[in-house]
Amino acid sequence: MFSQTAEYALRVIVHLASLKDSPTTTRQIAVTTKIPEGYLAKVLQSLVHAGLVQSQRGLHGGFVLGRQPTTLTLYDVMSAVDTPARIHTCPLALKTHAQELCALHRRLDNVLLAVENSLRQATISEIIGDCTCCKPLAEVNGEMSVSGGNGEAAPTDTTGVA
């Protein structure tokens, strides 16, 4: 339902928001978010153009979030890289549906509208608060694990039992 580009844009924004204004390079973002560097450059360009990300040149340059995570929504991010999906005319181009959508396409568009409204209500700060994958990674005994709130690495489960 969502494009790969939208998924990548969301990963970038969540990652940058979790860094709290610390500039990071394209390479660092690519490694952390598992996005191919060439594709990432295009995504970053779209996000910069939309004002959601800022680029900083120089020795300690890189990319930072361009808006506060509390005001930035999932919809803002996705619409910066993709045209939101909605049905405005009958996909069958039937003349009888010229003035309004048929029952099928009206219902489908209502579902798309509900998804759009949900994305408009979800802020990046909410996502960061709910997502353990957004916490910085720390290495423990040669393995990467999610860092705890105090900056120390969270215990790594070595039992294999969830």
Domains present along the chain, CATH in parentheses: 4-130 (1.10.10.10), 133-162 (no CATH)
- Stretch 77-81: mean pLDDT: 96
> Does 83 or 145 have the greater pLDDT score?
83
Taking only the tens place, the pLDDT of each residue in 25-47 is 999 999 999 999 999 999 999 99
Task: Please report the DSSP string for 14-54 in residue order.
Answer: HHHHHTSS--B-HHHHHHHHT--HHHHHHHHHHHHHTTSEE
Query: Percent helix, strand and coil across the chain, each rounded to 5?
Result: 45, 15, 40
> Does 144 or 73 have the greater pLDDT score?
73
* pLDDT (0 to 100) of residue 131: 57
Taking only the tens place, the pLDDT of each residue in 80-129 is 999 878 888 777 777 777 678 888 888 989 999 999 999 999 999 998 87
- Stretch 53-76: mean pLDDT: 92
